[in-house]
Structure 1
Amino acid sequence: MKNKSPFLLVSFVIIFALAWGTFIGFGSNPAWISNLALGLDIEGGVAVVFEGERGELSAQEFDRLLEQTKAVLAKRIDTFGLTEPNIARSGTNRIRIELPGAKDVDAALSSIGKTAVLEFYQINDGEFVVAGMPAGEDFPGTLLFKGDSLKDAGVGLDQYNNSTVVFTLSKEAADIFGQSTKNIIDTYSLKEGQIAIVLDGEVISAPRVDQVLHTEELMITGNFSPEEAISLANLIRGGALPISLTEVQTSYIDATLGREALSKSIFAGIIGFILIVIIMVLRYRLSGVVASIALILYTSLLFLLMILFGATLTLPGIAGLLLSIGMAVDANVIIFERLREELWIGKSLRSSLRSSFKRAMTTIIDSNVTTLLASIILYYFGEGPIKGFAITLSLGILLSMFSAITITRTLLSWVITIPFFRNTKFYVNGGRS
């Protein structure tokens, strides 16, 4: 057998460098694990439950509109800059929203629950409206189109450096707007009039029109602060809620409690990892050392994959991680017990290694697939933290199978190419040369 010690050395250096970068960091650069998103139970924040009003809608229509409402809420919340918000259906008529790291809870909840119905009216000839006027049943104008005819909205500045809201109309809305301005110029007594912009039943701007406008780019001016302009643009971009929502439950989680639980979980994980390494080395000797190194790589890759996929770490998710690490060790135990049996009956080290992985394969796949199916069921039927547990457990199971079947096997096959480590005493008690 060709000596693979150079490959083995390079592999160990890469593994420890990857682990160092994941959990400690290089120089002034923070550890990569610091990029992992933390859930509500760790980061702290607000959880709110909204209940949809069904009214006269059929069950099927209500379900469809509730899904649309969930999508609109997701678009709105994405503009708040919160860390990994979670939006999920709860039961048949409720939507649960988790806002980790929310700072201004009242403002966030106010923006989430607003109906944000934006309307454009052509004000009748001879009438005049101002910002702040309610748009009731006797409002002196004709509805042109609503906010769902907008393609996008953002924030800008006017010629006086005042904050404004700029938005883009769809082609259909732009045609309607152009025809309305033409109608004002052609038919109004003073050859001018107003287009009122109404948000949630209140006039927010009523610009004067004295020329025909054919454009898809429009601007809302007014006495907006920068924060008000951003909030209004976010609401316009998010769109109107398809159904009315009622806030039925709000809970606040202190970040201090979550951080304390996280610290204790990390401490328990470190102690457990050290004990696993000690037991593996004492029981399986050199095989245990190789398995422990593979376990370090497994743990590093598991966290890096969670960061890559944008997964959120929750306290139940930590339980799933620890369970998957235990299953990774279990796979190695099965393999190494097979290896001991093969060596005890007098087979060569190379033959024993090949046979142990082959005989253990079925058991490892069966046990992991069974647990994987259970985690898939948990994800499909569970909500919130249960899904977090299922995701981390599933990811850990798949990676543990790869670690035990591929990484550990490759490293051990390289180890036995080194003449010094071909003595079976490095693998079982009372081994032979």
Structure 2
Amino acid sequence: MKTKGKSWIAFLLIILLIGFFGYAGAYGIKIFNAYEILPFSSVITRGLDLQGGVSVVEEITTDDGEVKSEDLEKTKNLLSLRVNKMGVAETTVATEGSNRIRVDIPGKFESNSIIDTLTKTGELKFVGPDNEVILTGKSIKNATARPGQTGEPLIDLEFNDEGVEKFREATQKYIGQKISIYMDEELLTAPVVKAVINDGKAVIEGSKSLEEAKTQAGVIQSGSLPVTLKTVSVKTVGPTLGSNAIPSSLKAGMVGVAIIFIFMISIYKVPGILGDIALITYILLVLYIFAALGVVLTLPGIAGFLLTVGMAVDANILIFERTKEELKLGKSVKSSIDAGFHRALSSIIDSNTTTMIGGLVLYFFGSGAVKGFAITLMIGILVSMFTAITMTRTLVKLWVNMGMLNKPSLFGVRKRG
């Protein structure tokens, strides 16, 4: 009786949690006016194809025709700084191939002004507290980020011959004061001068993280980057596509999920209901992961997500079919469930592993929309394995302990006459 009572309590808690997070994801919720969970529509980033905007592809050219990977990364950081300065949220700056950078700017439709902003020559300046320009990016020889002895993020600066003398004079003049570093009038960092620098090698402290330090170092280095940007592609996407696509996708998804629910219940009876609960959990988990990771949702991404819903159901079907086979052999309900999950596990892992490999190939060798599809596909695969193997099994075992799932007929298995 104790086991039965505990199982009832555990099951009801699971249902309450699913209901709570489902409502919060759909409508948002405030907790004691101190915490707030925003709805998925507010926190999941929509791609360019869903809200319209401009997509620009820039190609890097150099004097010797060779583009180094570090130059590509530094240029990407510089372009990120520029598009973020436009005040546009949800911009995407990504490398394509070995010498191209794609910039997606949602909500903007004036491509000429955007191209001018992206391709202009950047100006890096070191400015003293009296607003005097000490030196420019032409004096930078190298800038790299690294962790310090205690793990704090640091940026190592090295100046060329021209910059060594200028920086020595500046550190003598402004010791104990701040020297601000600007890129295109955007303040990158403002370290305090703690000593006179005579050898042209300085260390900048104060970055919040090593990742931020790497970005700042890349932008500082790019102030003297000998590359030229050439616009090779400009695509303007109207906002009407997204306004039509999102409702249509939601409708298709709801119809598809509803059909799956009916199918599972009609074929597998009570376990089908539990499989549907696990499927709802799967959908919520994926959407919350999208929000947490900042996944940019595109039309191909929606397609990948809906595809994984079917794959999540497929895992449950394998488990329930194996369980039914064991029940038909005359085994008890508990032993049939254990054997069904055990026998289905290898098939689930094999099928999901092959799909995962395909997703990895699409992600690393694809670009743009293909990557969006691959990301949602891979996240969906991992979550579907968790919900099928863990969530479905937990729910089924709880119902067995509750005494609600103790007959083969409840699995859709008829006794032999």
CA distance in 1, matches of 2:81, 2:261: 46
Check whether the contact 2:320–2:340 (CA below 8 A) recurs between aligned residues. Answer: yes
Please, which of 9, 20, 25 is the counterpart of residue 22 of structure 1?
Answer: 25
Query: Counterpart of 2:246?
Result: 262
**Do structure 1's residue 232 and structure 2's residue 185 form an aligned pair?**
yes
Answer yes or no: is the 8 Å Cα contact 1:174–1:216 preserved in 2: no
Q: Structure 2 residue aligned with 1:179, among 169, 176, 179?
A: 169
> Residues 345, 179 of structure 1: CA spacing in aligned structure 2 closer, same or farther, 3 A cutoff?
closer
1:8 maps to which of 5, 8, 11: 11
Q: Aligned residue for 1:40? A: 48
Q: What is the CA–CA distance in structure 1 between the aligned matches of 2:123 and 2:388, rounded to whole Å?
A: 56
- Residues matched between the structures, number: 356
Whichever residue aligns with residue 137 of structure 2, its letter is G
Deviation at 1:383, TM superposition (A): 0.5
Does the 8 A contact of 2:126 with 2:179 survive in 1?
Answer: no
Deviation at 1:384, TM superposition (A): 0.9
Q: How does 1:181-260 map to 2 (within 5 A)?
A: 217=178, 232-233=185-186, 238=219, 240=223, 241-260=225-244
CA distance in 2, matches of 1:271, 1:283: 18
Residues 123 and 183, structure 2, Cα contact 8 Å, conserved in 1: no
Name the amino acid aligned to 1:22.
Answer: G
What residue in structure 1 maps to residue 271 of structure 2?
Answer: 287
Distance 1:421 1:215, change over 3 A: closer
Unaligned stretches of 5+ in structure 1?
122-142, 152-169, 183-211, 221-228
Alpha-carbon distance in 1 for matches of 2:15, 2:305: 23
Residue pairs, 1:13-412, within 5 angstroms: 13-26=16-29, 30-57=38-65, 59=66, 61-102=67-108, 105-118=111-124, 145-147=135-137, 176=166, 179=169, 217=178, 232-233=185-186, 238=219, 240=223, 241-412=225-396
3-state SS in 1 of match to 2:63: coil
d(CA) in 1 for partners of 2:379 and 2:341? Answer: 22
- For the structure 1 residues 359 and 217, does the alpha-carbon distance in structure 2 shift closer, same or farther, using more than 3 Å as the test? same
1:418 shift after superposition: 1.8
Structure 2: which amino acid aligns with 1:340?
K
Per the alignment, do residues 178 and 351 of structure 1 end up closer, same or farther by CA in structure 2, a change over 3 Å counting?
Answer: closer
Preserved CA contact (<8 Å) 1:423 1:431 = no
Report the more deviating stretch, 295-304 or 232-241. 232-241
**Identical amino acids, percent of aligned pairs:** 36
CA pair 338-285 structure 1, distance change in 2 beyond 3 A: same
Unaligned runs of 5+ residues in structure 2 are 31-35, 128-132, 143-156, 190-215
- Residues 46 and 283 from structure 1, CA distance in 2 versus in 1: closer, same or farther, beyond 3 angstroms? same
Moved more, 78-87 or 289-298: 78-87
Cα RMSD, aligned residues only:
3.4
Distance 1:144 1:8 in 2: 68
Larger radius of gyration: 1
What is the deviation of 1:171? 9.9
- Give the drift of 1:275: 0.4
Aligned partners of 1:322 and 1:426: how far apart in 2? Answer: 29
CA contact 1:51–1:247 (8 Å) conserved in 2: yes
Q: What CA distance in whole angstroms lies between the structure 1 residues aligned with 2:233 and 2:305?
A: 30
**Counterpart of 1:419 in 2: which secondary structure?**
coil
Corresponding residue SS for 1:350: helix
Q: Deviations over 1:316-341 (max 9, x none)?
A: 11111011111000000011111111
Note the C-alpha offset of 1:353.
0.5
CA contact (8 A) 1:18 1:297 kept: no
1:205 alignment partner in structure 2: none
Change (3 A) 1:106 1:414: same
The CA deviation at 1:13 is: 1.3
Which residue in the other structure is 2:400 paired with? 416
Change (3 A) 1:46 1:352: same
Q: Contact 1:76 / 1:234 at 8 angstroms: preserved in 2?
A: no
- Amino acid aligned to 1:416: V
Paired position in structure 2 for 1:132: none
**Displacement of 1:120 after TM fit?**
8.2
Q: Secondary structure of 2:236's match?
A: strand
Which range is displaced more, 25-34 or 256-265? Answer: 25-34
**Letter in structure 1 aligned against 2:56:** V
1:89 is displaced (CA, Å) by: 2.8
Distance 1:291 1:431, change over 3 A: farther
Report deviation, 1:247.
1.6
Q: Which amino acid aligns with 1:145?
A: L
User: What is the DSSP-based 3-state SS (H/G/I as helix, E as strand, rest coil) of the residue aligned with 2:401?
Assistant: coil
1:111–1:235 CA contact under 8 A, matched in 2 = no
